[in-house]
Structure 1
Amino acid sequence: MHRHIALTRRHLLGVASAGAFVTIAGGTTGCSKTEGGGESDADLLAQLKKRGYAKVAYANEAPYGFKEGGTLKGEAPTLHAEVFKALGVPELRPVFSEWDGLIPGLLAGKYDVISAGMAILPERCEKALFSEPEFISPTAMMVPAGNPKKLGDLSSAKQAGVTLGVMSGAAEKGYAEGAGVPADRIRTLTKPQDGADAVRSGRIDAFVLTGISLRWLARTNKGLEVTEPFLPVVDGVKQYSPGGAVFRKGATSLRDAFNVELRKITSDRERYVSLLGTYGFTAAEMPPADLTTARLCSA
């Protein structure tokens, strides 16, 4: 059982290249509307297929969803482009939103789906529909090249008596404390690059964040490496931090059709890594088959 799974939104780094590119275009077509401003559920997928595109929201956060050179890139747009193509919708048209405005904009009918790697949280499930998980976010540690302290997880960090760095306001501080790392061995940092700099200078022995984020950070920080990802355990519960696509509450038919195609990708290791490896996603980020959105929304 994974009843009280901690789910947090991460702020990740960088600019990507390659992957499935989704070009920006403009224009809209007429369609039936609900009071919230979006297409009615009964004909939404049919409308998207007829007009040939879906409007997707992104928050410009790499590697989840971001724009580069007039092109939308990242984990969510790449994955969602594959899914919608399989559903007969060949194009995604991006709409930028600040993070806090993503769900309000969806409910107002400004776009059809949120493609931003949004964490599946019970309070968000009350407002919108989530797909099944697209990924999980195992934790990792950034350490000096060669991993001189031989760190593998938070338990090993406690045993070694090392000093850890964590992001201010992020979940990793609680993970470290839950593993028994003393408070005076935990340093709070403002941004990810500060963590890399602190490891390089020896002010901390390891910087703790998601493996996705740290692998992205390592691309521009030579002399550092990232440990194999692991799932922290708090009060006996594994911390998965899953994310998914988000739809309006009434769009159950579209969400269900989306899930069918999504599952074909998230259950295929080779295809998943081939699609998302450019953005730092590995087989370790593939969601377990038994980790369902229904369970996460009721956690």
Structure 2
Amino acid sequence: MTVPLSRRRLLTRAAALGGLLAVSGPLAACSRTEVGTGAPAGDADLLAKLRKQGHVRVGFAGEAPYGFQDGSELAGEAPTLHREIFKALGIGELKPTLTEFGALIPGLLAGRFDVVSAGMAITPERCAKVIFSEPEFVSPTALMVRKGNPKGLTDLRSCAAKGVRVGVLTAAVETSYAKEAGVRDPAVVSLAKQQDGLDALLAGRIDAFALTGISLRWLARTNEGAAVEVLDPFVPVVKGVEQYSPGGAVFRPGATSLRDAFNAELAKITGDPARYVGLIGKYGFTDREVPPRTLRTAELCKA
């Protein structure tokens, strides 16, 4: 990903849709739609339809390690989990469409694809428009520091206690996490993109770079040999609430049968940490990213 700014979860995205870029196969036109919504009719029977046709159309945003094109292959956390799940449901192929992040939900609702496969954050605002699977992962925050951790840091509170400079992505939630932990301006340093954080760390302009452990491990991997390390993740607390930043698959509101079948297979994977890490460990996911059984989408969707 230059590693594209994460997230679906971390950043407030612009509403502009931009163009849609098909990666493989033509975009099927919707011949039947629900009155007043533009969404395809018959979503209640979507699972049966997908089994019959043997493929599912997935939208993704080209953000490693969540969903991206690796040569000719659709790779990343979400496509890997989704391929496993849909195969278990009798649907053997993912047909991908690369889309601007802000266009994923509009494209889903318009019927350009059947599922969003992009590790999208589960938020109340999005739940008002679409339905989510149960969490596929949680995203504990971590710190990237110089090799050897010379400042002896562990989390954002330790950064505040030691008065160090903390790099965060512009408009990312880590800004509020750092300030909640007691790190004050000008010790909170905004950076444009993930690579800038690693470069600022090596140049001594910051002492720690705060982001999700997932993204930092991927950044370290794509800068192999750089004199940095990623510390153990931690879960920030804001106003007494633990900030897990969970993500999941996204479906149209009428596709509850497909969502429920998906959830049943997803639970078999998240309930087996060894299998979970075996599938997506190469993308930087560990057993720390396995969602707690008590973390449910219905609660996350509450405003």
**Structure 1 length as normaliser, TM-score?**
0.90
Q: What are the Cα deviations for residues 25-58 of structure 1, in whole angstroms up to 9, with x where unaligned? A: 5368899844234251332111100100000000
Give the aligned partner of residue 172 of structure 1.
174
- 2-structure distance, mates of 1:186, 1:68: 34
Q: Compared with structure 1, are the counterparts of its residues 96 and 131 closer, same or farther at alpha carbon in structure 2 (3 Å cutoff)?
A: same
Residues 27 and 112 in structure 2, CA contact (< 8 A), matched pair in contact too: no
Report the number of matched residues: 281
How far apart, CA to CA, are the structure 2 residues paired with 1:42 and 1:169? Answer: 38
Can you list the C-alpha shifts for 1:84-103, whole angstroms capped at 9, x where unaligned?
00100011000111111111
Give 1:26's aligned residue.
Answer: 25
Normalised to the residue count of structure 2, the TM-score between the two structures is 0.88
Q: Contact conserved, 1:53 with 1:93, CA < 8 A, in 2? A: yes
The partner residue of 1:131 within 130, 133, 139 is: 133
Q: What corresponds to 1:14 in structure 2?
A: none
Distance 1:8 1:84, change over 3 A: closer
Contact 1:59-1:98 within 8 A present in 2 as well? yes
Secondary structure at the aligned position of 1:142 is classed as strand
* Corresponding residue for residue 282 of structure 1: 286
Q: Distance in 2 between matches of 1:95 and 1:274?
A: 26
* 2: CA distance, partners of 1:29 / 1:182: 51
1:1-299 mapped onto 2 (5 Å cutoff): 9-10=9-10, 26=25, 33-35=32-34, 36-219=38-221, 220-221=223-224, 222-299=226-303
The separation in 2 between residues aligned to 1:274 and 1:59, in whole angstroms, is 24
In the TM superposition, what is the alpha-carbon distance from 1:242 to its structure 2 partner? 0.6
* Residue type at the aligned position of 2:290: M
Identity %: 61
Checking the alignment, whether the CA contact within 8 Å between 2:146 and 2:201 is kept in structure 1 is yes
Task: Check whether the contact 1:8–1:241 (CA below 8 A) recurs between aligned residues.
Answer: no
Q: 1:96 to 1:50 in 2, by over 3 A?
A: same
Letter paired with 2:231: T
Distance in 2, Cα, partners of 1:235 & 1:93: 42
Listed one character per residue, the Cα deviations across residues 116-160 of structure 1 (whole Å, up to 9, x for unaligned) are 111111111111110000011110011011111111111111111
Please tell me the residue identity of whatever aligns with 1:187: V
What is the identity, as a one-letter code, of the residue corresponding to 2:188?
Answer: I
In structure 1, runs of 5+ residues without a counterpart are 1-6, 12-23
Residue identity matched to 1:204: I
In the other structure, the counterpart of 1:21 is none
